[in-house]
Structure 1
Amino acid sequence: MSSGVEADIALDAAVVLSLGMNRVLGAAAGMAASGADALAALAEGRAEAREAALREAADYEEAVRATLDVNARIAALDASQRRAAKAHDLSAEVALPVPLTLSGQSAEELATWCAATGDALSRAEQQISANIAAAVAGQIFTVPAAALQSALPEAGRSGHAEPVTDRDELARTLARVLSRVLHDTAEADREHIAEAAGRLVAARTASEAEGHLSEVRLRVQAANRHTEAARAEARRLAEERQAEQQAEAERRYVLETIGAAFGELGYEVDIGFETMTAQDGTILLTKGNWPEHAVKMRIDQAEATLRAAMVRDGAPQSEEERRVDIEREREWCDAFEAARARLAAAGVRSDVRWRIEPGRHLLPSAPEAHRPKARSRQRERRRERPQGSGGETS
């Protein structure tokens, strides 16, 4: 290749896994080491060791994500209980498990904690729903919530008593029905249920009370469907955000790895992150002894391709300048192949689709091939400015 090349690029599974975990945890809990082990095995050609490291990393990733999900459930339940306490003046408070801080636990330890804590959370969720239900029913019938809580069956049980005209019994039946409302039901749905439940106060016969209770049950079912749909939508949006963040992390890794590879080969590297939301990145390569030449590279993340072209400042004016062009093309050709080897060791595979051989075409002209020194020094200072763990980004 010389003045033009296009290559498919792909990240090794070890890189993808490590980037995902580093994004979530900031390289905590040993994930960085697992990814490094897999990459080292890849570079050394140790296939079995690489596969073992990848399996270990994948198992750990699954355990970590499960732990984060359980921690999120704890936070959501705590928030629901606090809102309910404020809205209904709840005196009873259900003790919740303490979220787990990730600090190097093994995958097995995390899985064990998730199983035990998940069961405890399910019981707590049922009890919180029962407490809220008792408070709402007590407010409607002016019955102490404590009396209704003690009369409730184990939370989550589906059976209910036949309503009678006795107000206390009717309040207990209502509390059982309301205990099925999911803890994170929207306030509008709760108000819709409460409006139907309020009609029970005026019921004069068992038949009339049963009719009102049937309406409450229907509204509870509808509210729970709305809540499940809202949960599903929240999960979908979260997955979309995670996918976008992962794609951005992979793009940055590719750009920075390419920049590092050519930097080691003596090129001045200018990574063109123009905006924080750019879907692709550009790289400009120059050298001190290339006053009129440069290489423009572009990474297209959507197509997973790398495109590169050598350019010069203006058209050649003599055969000597044309000879220098071809010499620069050959030099760039050798550098590209050397960089590909470095990229492969870092988990970035590049499979060339097509290339233009040295001297086949005149180099395209572009002003980027000649950058004033002041501009070069300005960009160099910008690269040296502290940027955190991710380096200079778009």
Structure 2
Amino acid sequence: MSSGVEADIVLDAAVVLTLGMNRALGRASGLAGRGAQALAERAAGRAEARGRRLAEVRDLERALREVVERNARIRALAELGADDLPAPLVPGEDDAAADLTAWCAETDAKLDAAETALSRKIAAELGTRIFTAESLTTDTTTRTPDNGPARTTETASTAQPELDEALGRVLARLLPDATDEDRRSVVEAARLLAETGGSQDAETVLTEVRLRVQAANENARSRREQVRQERERQDALEQAEAERQYVLSQVTRAFEDLGYEVQQSFETLTADNGSLVLSKGDWPDHSVRMRLDGDAKLRAKMIRETPVLDENDRRVDVEREQEWCDAFEQARERLEDAGIGSDVTWRLAPGVERLPVRAEARHTGTRAARARARERRPGQ
């Protein structure tokens, strides 16, 4: 390679899963060491052992995500006022995927029971609000349109218990996270039962209550889905950032081990997206700008810190390029051991193109460079 190189970055599955476990736990843990062990087995060439370990890591990472979801549901139901909730689980270093999965299954049953009990509790509260306003089916007669004689309908003693029971079943289907607005809509429909004059009218009102409960539940499920999608989107962003930080840290370590000084670049507004500057003590006139882009592509460019003054400078450029080329290949091997594959998609041989000069130096040069040039010229 010469002044530039581009390489596609691919993370090993063990790295991806390990980073996911760390995020799911919210902290570093011995659990993540299982992913590191899979990488070690990979580097040692133990394919069969790596396959088993990687499958274990994958199952564990999936189980941890399931635990996180159950913990979130426990917190949500607690905020809604549910009782008899299980305690959230904090996974430990010795937990196996099978143990975590079993806890999730047991917890699901408890959460379903708690949610059902909460729905019944809410239904009772709604019933109180409905019946406090006015009793159901208290009027046992209806009037004809011409205000003629009243005709007797079902008596309250026979109709009301059936209506109360039917209404209770309908209200109990209302999801506990329905909004106050949706609950008011259900209550308003249910109160119409007090104005019905017969079983047919009551069934019509009950149907309307059912429809409003269904609408309220659809709204609640829609909100749940929106929250889930947003959580997945945020999770993907956080995973991508964790992977980016991992690559940058390993790139920094690899080149520091090779004798380079690695610093974050602050020359552009997008430096926080993964820009690094590599330099060496015996490189007074050269540096490498390296950047990890969002498309998992690593781009590096060697530049001159001072303008080229003579052919000797060009000879030094080629030497530095060759040195950088050799170092990059060594770094790729180190990154491979850390689970970071790199597929070089573009590069040039040393000396094919002139090195670019840093913008400030290109226009103004430097006092040191001019002094160095004078020292090289005979008679001066």
Query: Per the alignment, do residues 49 and 15 of structure 1 end up closer, same or farther by CA in structure 2, a change over 3 Å counting?
Result: same
Query: For 1:346 and 1:101, how far apart are their aligned partners in 2?
Result: 29
Q: Give me the TM-score of the superposition, normalised by structure 2.
A: 0.84
Matched, 1:239 2:228: no
Q: Is the 8 A contact 2:67 2:100 kept in 1?
A: yes
Give the equivalent residue in structure 1 for 2:214. Answer: 221
CA offset digits 1:261-309 (Å, max 9, x no partner):
111111110123789997831111111111110011111122x211111
Q: Is the 8 A contact 1:255 1:271 kept in 2?
A: no
Local SS of the residue matching 1:23: helix
Q: Is the 8 A contact 2:177 2:220 kept in 1?
A: yes
Matched, 1:32 2:22: no
Matched, 1:170 2:163: yes
Query: For 1:179 and 1:275, how far apart are their aligned partners in 2?
Result: 59
Q: Is the 8 A contact 1:141 1:167 kept in 2?
A: no
Amino acid in the other structure paired with 2:207: S
Q: Is the 8 A contact 2:5 2:301 kept in 1?
A: yes
Give the equivalent residue in structure 2 for 1:71. Answer: 71
Following TM superposition, by how much is the alpha carbon of 1:367 offset from its aligned partner in structure 2, in angstroms?
Answer: 4.9
Give the equivalent residue in structure 2 for 1:136. Answer: 126
Of 308, 313, 317 in structure 2, the residue corresponding to residue 316 of structure 1 is 308
Give the equivalent residue in structure 1 for 2:289. Answer: 296
Which 10-residue stretch deviates more, 111-120 or 234-243?
111-120
Following TM superposition, by how much is the alpha carbon of 1:360 offset from its aligned partner in structure 2, in angstroms?
Answer: 1.2
Give the equivalent residue in structure 2 for 1:201. Answer: 194
Which residues of 2 match residues 15-54 of structure 1 at below 5 A? Answer: 15-28=15-28, 30-54=30-54
Give the equivalent residue in structure 1 for 2:102. Answer: 112
Local SS of the residue matching 2:357: coil
Query: For 1:41 and 1:276, how far apart are their aligned partners in 2?
Result: 41
Of 163, 183, 200 in structure 2, the residue corresponding to residue 190 of structure 1 is 183
Q: Is the 8 A contact 2:307 2:361 kept in 1?
A: no
Of 358, 361, 368 in structure 2, the residue corresponding to residue 366 of structure 1 is 358
Give the equivalent residue in structure 1 for 2:347. Answer: 355
CA offset digits 1:155-179 (Å, max 9, x no partner):
xxxxxxxx98443442232111100
Give the equivalent residue in structure 2 for 1:124. Answer: 114
Matched, 1:102 2:95: no
Q: Is the 8 A contact 1:29 1:102 kept in 2?
A: no
Give the equivalent residue in structure 1 for 2:81. Answer: 81
Query: For 1:350 and 1:369, how far apart are their aligned partners in 2?
Result: 32
Following TM superposition, by how much is the alpha carbon of 1:25 offset from its aligned partner in structure 2, in angstroms?
Answer: 1.1
Query: Per the alignment, do residues 184 and 315 of structure 1 end up closer, same or farther by CA in structure 2, a change over 3 Å counting?
Result: same
Query: For 2:49 and 2:177, how far apart are their aligned partners in 1?
Result: 46
Which 10-residue stretch deviates more, 62-71 or 20-29?
20-29
Q: Is the 8 A contact 1:141 1:171 kept in 2?
A: no
Q: Which runs of 5+ in 2 are unaligned?
A: 134-153, 363-380
Count of aligned pairs: 339
Query: Per the alignment, do residues 176 and 263 of structure 1 end up closer, same or farther by CA in structure 2, a change over 3 Å counting?
Result: same
Amino acid in the other structure paired with 1:115: A
Matched, 1:345 2:337: yes
CA offset digits 1:88-118 (Å, max 9, x no partner):
xxxxxx3222222222322121111111121
Following TM superposition, by how much is the alpha carbon of 1:138 offset from its aligned partner in structure 2, in angstroms?
Answer: 2.6
Give the equivalent residue in structure 1 for 2:256. Answer: 263
Local SS of the residue matching 1:5: strand
Query: Per the alignment, do residues 206 and 41 of structure 1 end up closer, same or farther by CA in structure 2, a change over 3 Å counting?
Result: same
Q: Is the 8 A contact 2:265 2:271 kept in 1?
A: no
Q: Is the 8 A contact 2:193 2:205 kept in 1?
A: yes
Q: Is the 8 A contact 1:294 1:369 kept in 2?
A: no
Residue identity (%) = 51
Q: Is the 8 A contact 1:136 1:175 kept in 2?
A: no
Of 315, 325, 334 in structure 1, the residue corresponding to residue 326 of structure 2 is 334
Local SS of the residue matching 1:351: strand
CA offset digits 1:46-68 (Å, max 9, x no partner):
11121111111111111111112
Query: For 1:95 and 1:288, how far apart are their aligned partners in 2?
Result: 66
Query: Per the alignment, do residues 225 and 164 of structure 1 end up closer, same or farther by CA in structure 2, a change over 3 Å counting?
Result: farther
Q: Which runs of 5+ in 1 are unaligned?
A: 83-93, 144-162, 371-394
Query: Per the alignment, do residues 368 and 201 of structure 1 end up closer, same or farther by CA in structure 2, a change over 3 Å counting?
Result: farther
Query: Per the alignment, do residues 336 and 198 of structure 1 end up closer, same or farther by CA in structure 2, a change over 3 Å counting?
Result: same
Query: Per the alignment, do residues 311 and 218 of structure 1 end up closer, same or farther by CA in structure 2, a change over 3 Å counting?
Result: same
Following TM superposition, by how much is the alpha carbon of 1:17 offset from its aligned partner in structure 2, in angstroms?
Answer: 0.6
Q: Is the 8 A contact 1:279 1:301 kept in 2?
A: no
CA offset digits 1:187-215 (Å, max 9, x no partner):
22111111111222232322222221111
Which 10-residue stretch deviates more, 211-220 or 185-194?
185-194
CA RMSD, Structure 1 to Structure 2 (Å) = 2.3
Larger radius of gyration: 2
Query: For 2:266 and 2:239, how far apart are their aligned partners in 1?
Result: 17
Give the equivalent residue in structure 1 for 2:142. Answer: none
- Which consecutive aligned stretches of 4+ in structure 1 deviate over 4 angstroms post-superposition? 273-279, 367-370
Q: Give me the TM-score of the superposition, normalised by structure 1.
A: 0.81
Amino acid in the other structure paired with 1:97: P
